[in-house]
């Protein structure tokens, strides 16, 4: 879904008022580009990032697994995939990958690729590409041993509801127009 840059910036700053105008525009530009390329609503990206890092591009999870704006699990990405112990003893390639994940545009690009992968997986496994299903998969809620795929949980619904809240607030503020 195509959204104007200024509306995505407004959604980011509504979510996290401490984000500077320059950073909000930088994040919004990357979100808009990737959302167009990977066919998702950028407001979904805003909601995911708000939930995951509160728009802190340097965020690293307490367990050292998740990096950047969208808290991408490094062990499954690029140079970390082949690292035997990516948290306690990462390879040089894994260290470099983790640094790239702390770059907002790269983190958003990988988030978008993961959205596409999880949407495709949910289509194959449960016959659905609906937001709650692929978002649950993105959040790591799949359990192949029990054959549970794409099943939304409490955290999934929290993001879905937050996205809905953003859209309602942007309508109230006159930044979005009702469709005819």
Q: Tell me if 39 is assigned to some domain.
A: no
Range of the domain at 66: 58-102
Rounded to 5 degrees, what angle do the CA atoms 131, 134, 139 make? 115
Total length of the chain:
180
Percentage of the chain modeled with pLDDT above 90:
95
How many domains does the chain divide into?
1
User: pLDDT tens, 16-41?
Assistant: 999 999 999 999 999 999 999 999 99
Question: Taking residues 107-112, what's their average pLDDT?
Answer: 98
In DSSP notation, 154-166 reads: HHHHHHHHHHHHH
pTM of the model: 0.94
Q: Tell me if 41 is assigned to some domain.
A: no
pLDDT at 79: 92
Residues 147 and 126 sit within 8 Å (Cβ to Cβ): no
User: pLDDT tens, 43-90?
Assistant: 999 999 999 999 999 999 999 999 999 999 999 999 999 999 999 999
pLDDT at 179: 60
Q: Tell me if 25 is assigned to some domain.
A: no
DSSP-derived letter for residue 108 is: H
């Amino acid at each position: 879904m195509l959204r104007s840059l200024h509306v995505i910036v407004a959604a980011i700053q509504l979510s996290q008022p401490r984000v500077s105008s320059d950073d909000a525009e930088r994040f919004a530009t990357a979100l808009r580009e990737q959302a167009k390329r990977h066919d998702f609503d950028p407001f979904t990206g805003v909601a995911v990032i708000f939930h995951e890092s509160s728009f802190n591009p340097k965020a690293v999870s307490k367990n050292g697994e998740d990096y950047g704006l969208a808290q991408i699990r490094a062990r499954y990405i690029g140079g970390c995939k082949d690292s035997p112990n990516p948290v306690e003893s990462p390879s040089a390639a894994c260290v470099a990958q983790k640094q790239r994940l702390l770059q907002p545009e790269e983190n958003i690009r990988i988030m978008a690729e993961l959205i596409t992968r999880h949407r495709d997986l949910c289509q194959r496994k449960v016959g659905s590409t609906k937001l709650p299903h692929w978002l649950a998969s993105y959040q790591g809620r799949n359990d192949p041993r029990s054959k549970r795929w794409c099943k939304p949980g409490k955290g999934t619904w929290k993001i879905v509801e937050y996205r809905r809240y953003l859209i309602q607030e942007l309508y109230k503020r006159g930044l979005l127009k009702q469709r005819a």
